[in-house]
Chain A
Amino acid sequence: MKVFLFFLLKKIIILFIVLFITLFMTIFLLGSTMDKIMMDQVRLQAINSFSGAALENPKLQQLKTNEERQKLIDQQIKIQSQSLGLDEPWYSPKKLFNSIYKIITLNLGNSRFFTTYYGSNSVNDLILEKLPNTILLFTSSSITIILIGLFFGTYLASKEGSIPEKFISGLAATSRGVPDWWFSMIMIVIFSFFLHVFPSRATPLSSPNEPGYIIDLLYHMTLPFITLVIIGFSPFVYYVKYIVLRILDEDFIKTLKIMGIPQKNILYIHALKNAGPQLSTILGLGITASLSGSLLVEQIFDWPGMGNLFYNAITQNDSPLIIGLSYISVLIYLLTRLILDICFTFFDPRIKSGET
């Protein structure tokens, strides 16, 4: 148990290091643009508030010359930027600490160009609006892929050398080399342009508060879902087959066979159970890979998820949104990895007993 705790601690420390590296890198690379944006906002605010105040206060209207007016505005800007810390460069330790603190406490600021359906432009709201869609699409397709993989992989392990088994091996090699985003484009050409079965844009046409929204969403989700399953299932089937095959070689399976336990039970109960630890690692790698791959696939299908938002933020150079989104995605990515690592250690008796 002590070893297990030590292992866990090590993982968590690495997780924090990684999180800080990415955060630091993001701020390092986007910090200067962020400051410029903030400064522009302050300037605009100062001018607006001055013209607003000038209407009410007749004293201010007496400042006839432009120079005097400018002087006052400049003064305002200076006070404002000092209070926000904009007079210091972004790399001053105080500010660096401040911005990291802000991001860690999920105070992600406002997007420059994007708003939610209800009109809020806060980065938090934007992410909260898009995140469920991403989770919906990617968990449902991942679960389907896992189920297909477990069933077919184990089945094919008992049929080594048969034509379907060779076919899956070939398909697995092929689909690892095919970019999934390109495959999505091909699927749109086939199913949307030539066959007119599914819409080419996966953003539902009805608004979120209409009653038929869920059905509309699911209908628009079908094509991306099918695409993700087709591109993802064969490597997983291949891995499951590979792992189960190695377990079938072991002595205890032979003993079970001699004991007269039916082939089906051996395969689906005993072999699969023992494949658990190894499967969970591969599963983890697969899920984390699909999370980062989601960016392009979502953009091509125009699925209203985080990846699509990320793509649009990049093309519009919306720095606050980019920083917020990368932080959240890195967080999700690392948490998934941590949970999977914990599961893995929990399953694997070697780590618990401290053999490694």
Chain B
Amino acid sequence: MTLKLTRLIKENKGGFIGTLLLFFLMVMTFYALFFVSTQSRLQWNDPIHWSDNPKTAAPEWFNVILKPFGHQLPEHKIFYQKDATVNSINETDFKLENNTFSYQFDFNEFPPAFDIPYEITLGEIPPILEVYVKRPDNLEFKIYSNSLESVSSSQNNGDNAVDNNNNNSTTPTLIDSNTVLGRVFSSSSDVRNSLAEYGGIFKFPISGLSAEKIIFSKTDSNTPLKGKYEFIFSVYSFDSDTVLKNLQLVIQGKVYGLLGTDELRRDVFFGILIGTPVALFIGITVALSSSFIGLFYGLYSGYTGKKAGTFMLTVIDIFISLPTFIIFIIISIHFGRNLLFLIGLFILFGWPGVALLNRTFSIQIKNYPYIEASKLMGESDFKIVLRHIVPQLLPFTLANFALSVPIAILGESALSFLGFGDPSFPTWGQMLQEAHASSAETLGYWWWIVSPGLMISVTSIAFILIGRSLENLVKIGKRR
């Protein structure tokens, strides 16, 4: 038994590789279906969900490749409130609370940005916030300060402030009657203005530079200064009700995760993962239906012959001559952006090729002597087709099925790339469309392009390899 199996694998290397690839895809599909909730899948298009991730970061393992070249990209680092050392000073009329994060920085490049999200429950008197950075060379910069008075005074019109926390303003906003949500961005004008005061320390003009390129820079030249940095977030509170919550320090990196992130800070690996079941679903549904329709259409038109058969052949001819892609585009402009609609479209234009093949075969089989014999024995046409012709055609149909899966997958990705994809089902084609729209290929965000395209190719190749070796098996079986 094992000997037979090894021989089968040896004779069909392509089919074996295809099966392995398919197994890998199945594992991804099962993981995506059973371990990723619908809710987190829907968060793909929600930019706030991804706000703690770095923008267009390369995969983490890219640093391993860069190591021999003596170059390291800054890693993404998130500190939570529990990581901070808290130091409280109680005075008579106020309380100072210092939250200190210490960050070890040893990279050859500046981090692209940092931000500090926080949440404060207000008491009667609004507190004062200050952010300091202590550098390895013992310089200390005050980069941000805000007395939350303006926020608490604007309590009445608090409803317009809800969706404000994702654009690049550091202005804290009220989320309910006494909670303030804020985020200090390194790119904000507040931070840049407070850094402008330290211009004298540096031996180069800092006016045009962004905040992280000043804070992490050596004083004599604009190159990164390695060492231990301390970020101090201080709260001056004037009553006991003021509580600081959910404080974080996010140092944006240039490497993140298994496959990096895209322009909207989304994890590319997550997109790949949730795209797998969709791609397989499209491919398999389309292939299954079109080979099923093709089988019976071809059978009927081949077996009956005569005028109906000729007419059915002409219909196939017309369908085959249609310039499918252009028609897809024109129809999609009008109805598009729906997954089920796309699948229907692919089925509509997918079956004629299969039907033509099945027709040719059924004409061949029809003229075999044993069919004529069973006709003479008085078997009904229906029975003959079902018992003698369909079993002969099934292996071919199986091969056809495998070979039409990649056509559907490639077609879907091409249409998604044109912007006709269903936005509620993120697919690999849509990821590539977004990459192209942000001109990822000219900016060199290779991780954003390589992985979705590679997945499309792997899926198609798996089915092509399986289909080909099935075809060979059928042919060999015939010869014997």
- Please say whether chains A and B are actual partners in one complex: yes
Distance of B318 from chain A, by nearest CB (Å)? 6
Selecting from A16-24, A115-123, A274-282, the interface stretch reads A16-24
Binds B, one of A49-57, A91-99, A187-195: A187-195
Give the interface residue-count category, chain A: 35 or more
Given contacts A178-B457, A193-B441, A193-B444, contact A329 B418 (CB under 8 A): no
Contacts of B450 in A (CB 8 A): 186
A173 touches B461 (CB 8 A): yes
A:141-190 near B, CB below 8 Å: 170, 173-174, 176-179, 181-183, 185-186, 188-189
Q: How far is the CA of A337 from the CA of B317 in the complex (A)?
A: 12
B441 and A300 form a contact (CB under 8 A)? yes
Q: Pick out which of these stretches binds chain B: A25-33, A60-68, A127-135, A207-215.
A: A25-33
Q: A188 contacts B464, CB within 8 Å? A: no
A333 CB-CB contact with B under 8 Å = yes
Per-residue contact bits, chain A 317-340, to B (CB 8 Å; 1 contact, 0 not): 100001000100110011001000
| A/B pair count, beta carbons within 8 Å | 131
A179 and B413 contacting across the interface, CB-CB below 8 Å: yes
B420 and chain A: residue at smallest CB distance: A314
Q: Give the complex CA separation of A279 and B323 in angstroms.
A: 21
Q: How far is the CA of A310 from the CA of B333 in the complex (A)?
A: 12
Given contacts A18-B321, A173-B14, contact A185 B441 (CB under 8 A): yes
Partner pick for A189 among B419, B444, B459, CB 8 A cutoff: B444
A234 lies within 8 A of chain B by Cβ: no
In the assembled complex, the Cα of A278 lies from the Cα of B199 at a distance in Å of 76
A173 to B471 CA separation, bound complex (whole angstroms): 13
Instruction: Known contacts A21-B322, A29-B334, A174-B461; decide if A179 and B414 are in contact (CB<8 Å).
Output: yes
Q: Is the Cβ of A295 less than 8 Å from the Cβ of B325?
A: yes
Query: Complex Cα distance A34/B39, Å?
Result: 41
Contact residues of A between 211 and 238, Cβ < 8 Å to B? none
Residue of B nearest to A327 (CB): B326
**In the bound complex, what is the Cα–Cα distance between A186 and B465 (angstroms)?**
23
Q: A173-B465, A179-B410, A189-B449 are in contact. Are A329 and B419 (CB under 8 A)?
A: no
Q: Does A14 sit within 8 A of B, measured CB to CB?
A: yes
Q: Tell me how far the C-beta of A65 lies from the nearest C-beta in chain B, rounded to whole angstroms.
A: 42
Give the residue name and chain of the A residue nearest to B403 (CB).
A176
Assembly CA distance A329 to B465 (angstroms): 33
Chain A residues with CB under 8 Å of B459's CB are 177
CB-CB under 8 A from B436, the residues of chain A are: 185, 300
Question: Is B453's beta carbon under 8 Å from chain A?
Answer: yes
* Interchain CB contact (< 8 A) of A22 among B327, B406, B460: B327
Minimal Cβ-Cβ distance residue in A for B314: A14
Give a binary string over B165-186; 1 marks a CB under 8 Å from any A CB, 0 the rest: 0000000000000000000000
CB pair B418 A25 closer than 8 Å: no
Whether A179 pairs with B442 at a CB distance below 8 angstroms is no
For residue A289, give the distance in angstroms from its CB to the closest CB of chain B.
9
> Quick one: closest B residue to A174, CB to CB?
B461
Asked whether A255 is an interface residue with its Cβ less than 8 Å from the other chain, the reply is no
From residue A7, how far is it (CB to closest CB) to chain B in Å?
A: 12
Please determine whether A186 and B449 come into contact, CB atoms closer than 8 angstroms: yes
The smallest C-beta distance from A10 to any residue of chain B, in angstroms, reads 8
Q: Which 7 A-B pairs have the closest CB atoms?
A: A177-B460, A182-B453, A177-B461, A292-B325, A193-B444, A29-B334, A188-B441
22 A-B residue pairs with CB within 8 Å:
A14-B314, A17-B318, A18-B322, A21-B322, A22-B323, A25-B327, A25-B330, A30-B330, A30-B334, A173-B14, A174-B461, A177-B406, A178-B456, A182-B457, A186-B441, A186-B446, A186-B453, A193-B444, A201-B442, A296-B417, A330-B323, A330-B326
Q: Which residues of B contact A (CB under 8 A)?
A: 14, 314, 317-318, 321-327, 329-331, 333-334, 406, 410, 413-414, 417-419, 432, 435-436, 440-444, 446, 449-450, 452-453, 456-461, 463-465, 468
